[in-house]
Structure 1
Amino acid sequence: MVTASAPHCRATVLAADIGGTSGRFALFAMGGESLALAARVELPSAAAGGFEALVRSAMDALAPSGRDLPAPSAAVLAVAGPVRQGRFCLPPNIPYTLDLDLLPSGLLPASSLLVNDFTAQAHGCRVLGVEGSDPVLPGTMDAAETQAVVGPGTGLGKAALIPDGRGGFVVGSSEGGHAAFPFNAGEERLFQDFVLRATGEPFARWETVVSGSGLALLNRYLTGEVLAPAQVSASLNAEAATTEWFARFLGRACRDYVLEVVARGGVYVSGGVAAKNPLFLSHWAFEREFRASHTHPELMAGVGVRLVRDQNVGLWGAAALAQRLAEPVCDQRLSR
């Protein structure tokens, strides 16, 4: 639940979560002490032809549902890539640039920002709280400590929720999904060679391995089958080698990020790959890899892991940020 500073102001905010596969857009109604999801649309992001075209299509699609709502007074668009000054992003998995300053006047509210998609995911995890997730591994889930958010989807996102010392928190976003993946010795090195040949990249990145496309690549290596990620997901069971390997790699991603940011407060695992394939998190290989640390075994033994059920978590986080932009507008209305 998100609290508004102007409890009697009736206002609307626009939130978006734009990834490499799809762009989710939603209108949220502000009022009282909560945000309410009023209308939502999902569009293919890569096929949109450009940022303006995607936003215009989304606004047109939301218009019928938003007839009885005031026009949005603020907007926050979360995008899968590094954001510059809240206005510009050149995303790695979307074939066009996102630049708020190049959009026609009036297409979005004057108070609009871009944020990294996992900045929004992290805020969304705090909005939904523990109640919006399922337990995976026992251990501490404490918002007073640093918490990690890790999410495999089209790519691999990471963020940290860090206490600010005043009862609040700040979010540290990350492009760690593009860092080099740490393969172990043995057969993993053979898979590494396969990945390099298949992708032509100079080194295998985290999101080359722990993502939807990584799942398809891994299954191709282990079985010889050339399948789309959704087809692989549909064919998996707990005994499949692909399940064991991917669970191990996802456990490694979560463990290493916990160590990087000292996330004693727990891990939220989000993203479509995890939400659609919870068997990766319940598999023994996930827990074994996540807990494995010869330098900090006590730290890793105490960290809890939860799976975020709601795939709109990024929208909730973007809406919470948009609400902050809209609050001065509400204050102005109430002062009249």
Structure 2
Amino acid sequence: MVTASASHCRATVLAADIGGTSGRFALFTIGGESLAMAARVELPSAAAGGFEALIRSALDGLAPLGRDLPAPAAAVLAVAGPVRQGRSCVPPNIPYLLDLDQLSPELLPQASQLVNDFTAQAHGCRHLGVEQSDPVLPGAVDTAETQAVIGPGTGLGKATLIPDGRGGFVVGGSEGGHAAFPFNAGEERLFQDFVLRLTGEPYVRWETVVSGSGLALLHRYLTGENLAPAQVAASLSAADATTEWFARFLGRACRDYVLEVVARGGVYVSGGVAAKNPLFLTHWAFEREFRASHTHPELMAGVGVRLVRDQNVGLWGAASLARQLAEAAPSGC
């Protein structure tokens, strides 16, 4: 949402989307109601050696691409984990602390903050609009109702877009990807035992199953092949058992989140696993599992599902939040 001062705002902001596998960083220009990506780099996040090292590498990579741009007026870094007071995060899938207050003071603008990565994804979905996503299942996609955003990648992220009653919205964060996965009886329980043996976890979490690593575990259980997630995805067709099982589990994740937050306004599915492998969403097992609810069949029958193909959606969301920071700064922008 653009504030009253936005029509006079001309500045650059820094946005980041730091996940367990990679970190995307971009400079955006803002002017009036426009927001444009001017430069972008992507770096491996886990191997960076630390938060400051990652930021410095990103800024070094952006510098020649944005040499004609002014210094960023604000920065918002979306990170895969629970954020405390916009300043720090202990991420579950990155081997170091993310803390703005431990960075060298000159590294980032004074107006800087951390947000959860799926908070940024949710803002990005609203910024890009429904026309920037592909229909998967028919039904309501209505910004006047609560909407769910969910996505499998290195982990499983979730967030909720909630109408504020004044024409705007607030974002509800979630770490629901770390809750226990609900296996059905029968062979699913055998897969559960398999995952517990391999991971050593006390219980199987959602993101252990509905994620890139979960896809690899599932394929290993069903076929005996121990492949990397990208290798599994490249080998799959709609006829494979791995595809059917993963589509069912992804449908379950989306359905259960709709029921948890009463997302009558629809579901946005994002994340690299879905964006790179849309067959998981178009498979019949996804729809059957998503619609299946013996207590609320009418609710589930009316909810639409859309696929967000733009893997920069988190950057767009972080940039829209950074624009708000720049506009609210004492010196303006």
TM-score normalised by structure 1 residue count: 0.97
Alignment of 1:109-258 (within 5 A): 109-258=109-258
Name 1:263's counterpart in structure 2.
263
Letter in 2 for 1:282: T
1:279-334 C-alpha deviation (Å, 9 max, x unpaired): 0000000000000000000000000000001000000000000000001349646x
- Is 2:29 the partner of 1:29? yes
Q: Partner of 1:7: helix, strand, or coil?
A: helix
Alignment of 1:60-139 (within 5 A): 60-139=60-139
1:111-158 C-alpha deviation (Å, 9 max, x unpaired): 000000000000000001111100000000000000000100000000
Letter in 2 for 1:79: V
Distance in 2, Cα, partners of 1:199 & 1:4: 52
Distance in 2, Cα, partners of 1:110 & 1:138: 45
Query: Residues 251 and 242 (structure 1 numbering): CA distance in 2 closer, same or farther, change over 3 Å?
Result: same
Letter in 2 for 1:310: D
TM-score normalised by structure 2 residue count: 0.98
Contact 2:180 2:205 in 1 (8 A): yes
Query: Residues 198 and 157 (structure 1 numbering): CA distance in 2 closer, same or farther, change over 3 Å?
Result: same
Query: Residues 137 and 2 (structure 1 numbering): CA distance in 2 closer, same or farther, change over 3 Å?
Result: farther
Name 1:55's counterpart in structure 2.
55
Contact 1:133 1:308 in 2 (8 A): yes
Contact 1:2 1:34 in 2 (8 A): no
Distance in 2, Cα, partners of 1:87 & 1:45: 18
Name 1:281's counterpart in structure 2.
281
Contact 1:152 1:212 in 2 (8 A): yes
Number of positions where the alignment pairs a residue of Structure 1 with one of Structure 2: 333
Deviates more, 1:63-72 or 1:265-274: 63-72
- Computed over aligned residues only, the root mean square deviation of the Cα atoms, in angstroms, reads 1.2
Name 1:40's counterpart in structure 2.
40
Contact 1:26 1:315 in 2 (8 A): yes
- What is the percentage of aligned positions where both structures have the same residue? 86
Q: Partner of 1:6: helix, strand, or coil?
A: helix
Q: CA deviation at 1:81?
A: 0.2
Contact 1:11 1:330 in 2 (8 A): no
1:151-185 C-alpha deviation (Å, 9 max, x unpaired): 00000000000011111110001000000000000
Contact 2:14 2:26 in 1 (8 A): yes
1:6-54 C-alpha deviation (Å, 9 max, x unpaired): 3233200000000000000000001021100000000000000000000
Distance in 1, Cα, partners of 2:106 & 2:303: 46
Distance in 2, Cα, partners of 1:137 & 1:48: 39
Distance in 1, Cα, partners of 2:226 & 2:65: 41
Deviates more, 1:320-329 or 1:219-228: 320-329
- Is 2:320 the partner of 1:320? yes
Contact 1:148 1:258 in 2 (8 A): yes
Contact 2:181 2:206 in 1 (8 A): yes
Q: Partner of 2:107: helix, strand, or coil?
A: coil
Q: Partner of 1:226: helix, strand, or coil?
A: coil
Q: Partner of 2:81: helix, strand, or coil?
A: coil
Letter in 1 for 2:215: L
Contact 2:111 2:329 in 1 (8 A): no
Q: Partner of 2:96: helix, strand, or coil?
A: coil
- Gaps of at least 5 residues in structure 1 are none
Distance in 2, Cα, partners of 1:47 & 1:241: 34
Distance in 2, Cα, partners of 1:311 & 1:99: 25
Letter in 2 for 1:54: L
Query: Residues 9 and 165 (structure 1 numbering): CA distance in 2 closer, same or farther, change over 3 Å?
Result: closer
Q: CA deviation at 1:65?
A: 1.3
